[in-house]
Amino acid sequence: MRAPPGSAPKFLNLSQIRFPIGAIASIGHRISGVLLLVTLPLLALALDRSLRSEAEFEALRDLVSAPGRALLLVVVVWAASHHVLAGLRHLLMDMGIGSRLAQARTSAWAAIVAAGVIALAAAVRWLS
């Protein structure tokens, strides 16, 4: 039964809210977006370094040689993959493609799984 208006909870208990797959894709889109924004200054610095000299350029290549930094890069790869895939899903939905519930749930799963697979591939390549 639907709760009468006015009795809506003011304080949301996160442990009692159900998170459908679309909500998880959506919150992942936000979290990955924040992560990518934090990476932006580093990207600007990397651009600067990459153009200074061949040695600096090659030094950027060796970034994954330390496990700690490789792990950070895997996180960035996940963030970029999830953000792009979930974002593409939003853009398609804006155009009315796949906005029906069943399709939207399928594409949410697809975005989450695909981003996970890409991050896993990066982890296998850089962390092994």
Partner 1 sequence: MRLFLGQRAWMLQRATAVVLLIFLAAAAAMLLAGPRLSYERWHALATSPHGAVLIVVLFAALALHGWIGIRDIVLDYIHPPAGRLLLLGLIALVLIAIVIRVALTMAAHFTTAG
**Half-sphere CA count of 80, side-chain side, radius 13 A:** 12
Cβ 110 to partner 1 shortest distance, Å: 17
Does the CA dihedral 65-125-50-85 come out positive or negative?
Answer: negative
Check residue 17 for interaction with partner 1 (CB under 8 A).
Answer: no
The count of chain residues that interact with partner 1, using the rule CB under 8 A, is 22
Check residue 50 for interaction with partner 1 (CB under 8 A).
Answer: yes
Check residue 88 for interaction with partner 1 (CB under 8 A).
Answer: yes
Check residue 44 for interaction with partner 1 (CB under 8 A).
Answer: yes
- Taking the C-alpha atoms of residue 26 and residue 14, their distance in angstroms, rounded to an integer, is 16
Check residue 101 for interaction with partner 1 (CB under 8 A).
Answer: no
Check residue 94 for interaction with partner 1 (CB under 8 A).
Answer: yes
Segment contacting partner 1 (CB under 8 A): 2-10, 66-74, 80-88, 115-123? 80-88
Cβ 103 to partner 1 shortest distance, Å: 20
Question: What are the C-alpha distances in Å from 112 to residues 29, 56, 59, 102, 125?
Answer: 10, 35, 32, 16, 20
DSSP 8-state class, residue 98:
S
